[in-house]
Amino acid sequence: MSLTNEQQLALKDLLAHLPAQRPAAPDFLQTWLGVSNHELKLKLAKVLNWKDDRERQFLDWVERRPLDAAFEFLAAAALGFYLSEKDQNPKIKSYVDAFYYISTCASVGYADIFAVTQTGKAIAALVMMVGPALSGKALDRPQTVDAGSGGNDDD
């Protein structure tokens, strides 16, 4: 579809009234926070790469040594729980009390101890999410396939 001469002149007149180039909008983050969009993207990418590396290391550790991983995770979670609850929670008198609570969070969830601090609740929630998977991995025996049977158990 082509334009008529009249349409071409009207379009040319319209374009003549528009500014040649829009002025660049100021970078809001740079103006208010001192960090440009580009710098923020680079820093965010660096943090996400670091997180991916730690996650990969954690999963490799769990795969290689599942029982150690489960025990060490629970021990570290119990230490964090103890440090966050010891002066606030009357039922947490020792590290063993904290380990007792954390170990129940990773299994059946029964305990006569409850978290009272926000940090303690966050640690408990993390253990409730990750603990059962670690316990399952630690107690799961690897499956072996007999080369002669081709993996068929009906023989």
Averaged pLDDT, groups of 10, the chain, 155 residues long: 82 78 68 80 91 91 88 94 95 94 86 90 93 84 58 50
- Residue 10, domain member (yes or no): no
Residue 155 has a pLDDT of: 46
- Residue 55, domain member (yes or no): no
Query: Hey, how many other C-beta atoms are within 10 angstroms of the C-beta on 58?
Result: 13
Residue 147 has a pLDDT of: 55
Residue 144 has a pLDDT of: 61
Residue 152 has a pLDDT of: 53
Residue 15 has a pLDDT of: 79
- Residue 27, domain member (yes or no): no
Burial of 123 (0-12, 13-18, 19+ CB in 10 A): buried
Give residue 12's Cα distance to chain centre: 55
Residue 82 has a pLDDT of: 97
- Residue 84, domain member (yes or no): yes
Residue 85 has a pLDDT of: 95
Q: How many domains does the chain have?
A: 1
CATH code of 125's domain = 1.10.287.70
- Residue 40, domain member (yes or no): no
